[in-house]
Amino acid sequence: MERISSSADMIMLNSSEPQGSFHVETKNLDGETNLKQKLVAKDLVEPFSTDKAFDSVRGVLNIEHPNNRIYKFDGNFNQSKVNGGVIPLSNDNVALRGMSLRNTEHVTGIVAYTGHDSKIQMNSADSVYKVSNISKQTNKQIMLVFMIQIICSMIGSAVGSTWMVANVDEASYLSFNKDDAWNTNWFLLFIQKTGTWILIFTNFVPISLIVTLEIVKYWQGSFMSMDVNMYD
């Protein structure tokens, strides 16, 4: 069976089938796989029964502004300036981008909405940077581990600074410069040593875990896309 899809949202003028009816499948729009019957507006079937009529299509289409409602459509085809009537148009008379034609040789329509104005595009959200639940959880855990790391660093640093202030005179073998406030002031020592301890405890958050997680996720994802049972 031939699958041909519509390239833009169109208002139908002609169908190869009797009474201007035709069938479409809307799987790409709403996921439904049944065939839906659509028709060319009743008053347009006769005027556009031959290709010659397309030579001079005149009139004004009054239709809704681009929107994302795929089941509703209102408008009319006003041919009053060219000796015609005003023909009402409904959702049955339009074929949307993404619909595929079924059981019908061909249909012809006039393009009403193009590209990002078309209903399928108005419905699709912008592609976003995907964050999985597991990485949200990882982020929380990292925060927690980082807190613990800071607390540990501060304890280590407080003990170290206290020892340093008390013993800097006896520890001459460490050859500290006693005139430097960074070696004698408890508070300055504390700040400096906290930084050092954070670096010492860097591996509280293991970088290898993150890499492993990424690889496992990718691997399981590719198993999913390789799964034959996922396709119909």
Partner 1 sequence: MTEIVEQQNPNSQQQNIREIDLDPAALQTLNHSKSVRSNSVRTSKYRWYTFVPLNLFEQFTKKLANLYFLIIMFMQMITVISISNGQPAMAPPLIIVVLISMIKDAYEDYKRHQEDKGENEAFAQVYSALTSQFEPKQWRNITVGDIVRVGENQFFSRHDNAQLIGASR
Residues 6-45 that bind partner 1 (CB under 8 A): 6-8, 10, 13, 16, 28
- 38-46, 159-167, 168-176, 190-198 -> range binding partner 1 (CB under 8 A): 190-198
Residue 115 as a binder of partner 1 (CB under 8 A): the answer is yes
The structure tokens 């980082």 sit at 146
Residue 205 as a binder of partner 1 (CB under 8 A): the answer is yes
* Binding residue for partner 1, selected from 21, 123, 183, 192, defined by CB under 8 A: 192
126 to 185, contacts with partner 1 by CB under 8 A? 127, 129, 131, 135, 138-139, 142-143, 146, 182
* Binding residue for partner 1, selected from 172, 175, 207, 228, defined by CB under 8 A: 207
Contacts of 108 (CB under 8 A, 6+ apart): 12, 13, 14, 15, 48, 54
DSSP state of 48: T
Which of 34, 113, 115 has its CA nearest to residue 73? Answer: 113
Residue 121 as a binder of partner 1 (CB under 8 A): the answer is yes
CA distance linking residue 9 with residue 95, whole number of Å = 6
Q: Smallest gap, in angstroms, from Cβ of residue 76 to partner 1?
A: 6
